[in-house]
Structure 1
Amino acid sequence: MKVSIIMPSYNSAATIGKSIESVLEQSYKDWELIISDDCSNDDIVSVVKVYQDQGYDIKLLRNDDNLGSGPTRNRAISIASGKYIAFLDSDDLWLPNKLSIQITYMKENDIAFSFTSYRKFDFQGQRGEHIVSSKVTYKQLLKSNPIGCLTVVYDCEKIGKCYMPALRRKQDYALWLNILDKYDIDAFGIPEVLAEYCCSGGVTSNKLDVIKDQWRFYRNHLKFGFVRSTYYFFFYATSGLKKYLK
């Protein structure tokens, strides 16, 4: 029941140590950590080597060119050997019982795709919690994305290895939609807070860009017509956007 943890990194030498330690502190011990570095120019290799030298199952891949987080995650997924795929970015954290609770929940309920609630933090401290519902359907996911990438686990034995589209933004959201649509399944949420999301800076910090990206996502990636895009964008603007404005 090994879990393959996919961790993309880019110039994250200052934060990745704490992210790795949150994996080491998991009560669930059957895991491998695959760090896929997107052509960083900091000292991330030395940071990761400290943990590798302690005998932990940690692999480090390095891109020759900067490819973006989607292709970078996909490199790690391609060599993953676990039954389950999980995601954790190099500035985010897991609570110690995250994997234990989530894998038990998936096994007991025969679930292929799950996610959890999480809390947000920045350099000034905590910034509130994002509590999820118990189930999200494909149509509901089109209206807003309550699924935090750092909380997702999917079962490779049930749906195979699933890869992120080569998008600079919303590649995780695109993958969730692809999985739910292709395999005709729902995403099941655990309301308990099991992860901590760093919301300092990054691509989600500019609210106007988020709005524009969502419209382009409907029109350019999903290839929705104007009317259908407007329909889903209305729900996104009135509900899904709330989590970015908190």
Structure 2
Amino acid sequence: MASLKNKVALVSGAGSGIGRAIAISYAQEGAKVVVADINEEHAVETVKLITDTGGEAIAVKADSSKAEESKKLIDEVVQRFGRLDIACNNAGMGGPAKPTAEYEPEEWDQVIDLNLNGVFYACKYQLAQMEKNGGGSIVNIASIHGQVAAPNSPAYTASKHAVVGLTKNIAIEYAQKNIRCNAVGPGYIETPLLTANLNEEGLKAIAAKSAINRLGTVQEVADLVVFLSSDKSSFTTGAYIITDGGYTAV
């Protein structure tokens, strides 16, 4: 049975990787999906993957780091589908790899603007619409580095810790308005970005960081997000659930 039948879902950063897998999984579970990405071509590709298998989706170009574009995105969702039931805020970036003292302010700002401010902007407008609907579910994609350090990635680590905190605040503030908010913390996941930048030896080294001794798959993350987005997790809010193959257990 489709767990998201008749729901309207929005996914940011859905043009590739984890975001694409989430968008496709939402559609497979019966949701009408709005695929948002700063790269419109990639968003259209995701939509085609959905519609070619009988799903319903539209692509919207949006820069998650800008408040006005987050508002416009919700306006487009409502104009097309009349409501918003589910949102997954997935758009993010890693930033330069360097120690804290060597980070330039503009580099810091770029990461924080997308990874933290972007999630706040998204939630702000999603929450307002979900209140009109009478409820909804938000899933914010954080990281294992919402809990542990990522040396030489101070902005990334700070932003992901902050996303976890923001998620918990929203969950408490909106629990009695029938709006749930949870965060997912992926570990090292096999995505095109990862495989394109590391050789086989590098990939094996990263895989060995988890107790399971392999990289995670985008589908494994998507399956968890679908669960948190559906009524099957109706008593779960304010949670930060890690999917990392045991990386943070030691």
| TM-score after normalising by structure 1 | 0.36
More helix as a share of residues: 2
Higher strand share: 1
> What is the TM-score when the length of structure 2 is the normalising length?
0.35
